[in-house]
A = this chain, B = another copy of it.
Amino acid sequence: MPRRSASPTITQVAEAAGVSRATVSRVLNGSTRVDPGIAIRVREAAGTLRYRPNLTARNLSTGRTLTIALVIPDLGNPMFQVILRGISRAAEADGYSVLVAEVASPEREAAIAREARRQCDAVVLVSPRMDDQVLDELVEQISPVVLVNRRTTDPRFASVGIDYAAGMKQLVEHLVGFGHRDLLYASGPPRSVANRERLTALHALVDADPALTLRSIRCGSGLADGYRVAAEVLDSGATAVLAFNDLVAHGLLTRMHELGVDVPRDLSLTGFDGIELSRVLNPHMTTVGQEELDAGTVAWTLLRRRIQRSDAQGRPEQDDARDDVLLEPQIIIGDSTGPVTSR
């Protein structure tokens, strides 16, 4: 039975052009060492047959897939979407495709990453929640890899992230400048490394200034989480609340509004991440974020270099110097923060 319009193979192109498959391959892959006349014949044959090389076969032969995997905790979070977008655009510009793998539950994180690596040349781990030890071992296995928003204890591994401590410093100084002394942190997911680092940074800042007080409450990472804890925030009596991220801040803000609490008159509020929403919605949210370069783009730069290295593994070229980019966030001052007033 005749396969209906099975796509042509390199063999058919070779026959049509009256040359060998190797020659077809050379022409189509831009090898200069080929007779111009033959090249034209081959291209014509390929054109009329509408030949497209089978990528799977090529991948098997070359050992490369020109695909990278992005392992991401939550496709619903705007932060991660920005990273996905950045890395997708950068990678595609270099001819690489992006496979997306969402981590359903933190326990499956390592397994998913390993699985993803089997069909890709490299992987980007975004905000992995696993332990340092597990992470170190994993990274070694699935290398080349770049970590986003997380570093490891092993200095060999590349990473890119925001300097959370610097960001928190800017926020706290901003609040302190407004006279706030009694701070509250609405914390993110307990397993989130970003959350732990932000909290640690806050503690360090507050410890350095005896006038300051810091408390924290459990919250979460989404709009609904902020909304939910609003009352608890009020009960605390703090004059300023630093939310784990922008979504939480917006959730809080919404609920405050409903409760008749005026932000920033009654309470100052800051976010983190600098998502678009924070700059457009009313009132504009005070937050910190990275402006020019997004982590996704940087991650691709780092990753590409490592892919090339491991391609040219003939000479290991022990130049695995640590690539560790720490992006400096900028404070974005909105209307959600203001001077302390007696209430």
Q: Which residues of A contact B (CB under 8 A)?
A: 52, 54-57, 59-60, 65, 67, 75-76, 78, 81-82, 84-85, 88-89, 92, 97-102, 104, 116, 118-119, 223-224, 227, 250-251, 253-254, 257-258, 276-277, 280-282
| Contact between A76 and B81, CB atoms less than 8 A apart | yes
Residue numbers in B under 8 Å from A100 (CB-CB): 84, 88, 98-100
Q: How far is the CB of A276 from chain B (nearest CB, A)?
A: 6
| Contact between A81 and B88, CB atoms less than 8 A apart | no
Question: What's the number of copies of this chain in the assembled complex?
Answer: 2
| Contact between A223 and B88, CB atoms less than 8 A apart | no
- Chain A interface main SS type: helix
| Contact between B280 and A227, CB atoms less than 8 A apart | yes
Residue numbers in B under 8 Å from A56 (CB-CB): 56, 59-60, 65, 119
Q: A98 to B102: give the CA distance in the assembly, Å.
A: 10
| Contact between B101 and A99, CB atoms less than 8 A apart | no
Q: Using CB atoms, name the residue of chain B closest to A223.
A: B280
Q: A148 to B239: give the CA distance in the assembly, Å.
A: 48
| Contact between A85 and B89, CB atoms less than 8 A apart | no
| Contact between A277 and B277, CB atoms less than 8 A apart | yes
Q: Using CB atoms, name the residue of chain B closest to A280.
A: B223
Q: How far is the CB of A164 from chain B (nearest CB, A)?
A: 24
| Contact between B67 and A99, CB atoms less than 8 A apart | yes
Choose from B52, B76, B98, B254 the contact partner of A280 (Cβ within 8 Å): B254
Residue numbers in B under 8 Å from A254 (CB-CB): 280-282
| Contact between A277 and B223, CB atoms less than 8 A apart | yes
| Contact between B84 and A75, CB atoms less than 8 A apart | yes
Q: A102 to B97: give the CA distance in the assembly, Å.
A: 10
Q: A92 to B71: give the CA distance in the assembly, Å.
A: 13
| CB<8 Å pairs between A and B, sample of 15 | A52-B118, A54-B118, A57-B60, A76-B82, A81-B81, A88-B100, A89-B104, A92-B102, A97-B99, A99-B99, A99-B100, A100-B100, A224-B280, A254-B282, A257-B282
Residue from the set A82, A84, A104 with the largest chain B CB neighbour count within 10 Å = A84
| Contact between B280 and A258, CB atoms less than 8 A apart | no
Q: How far is the CB of A256 from chain B (nearest CB, A)?
A: 9
Q: A280 to B224: give the CA distance in the assembly, Å.
A: 7
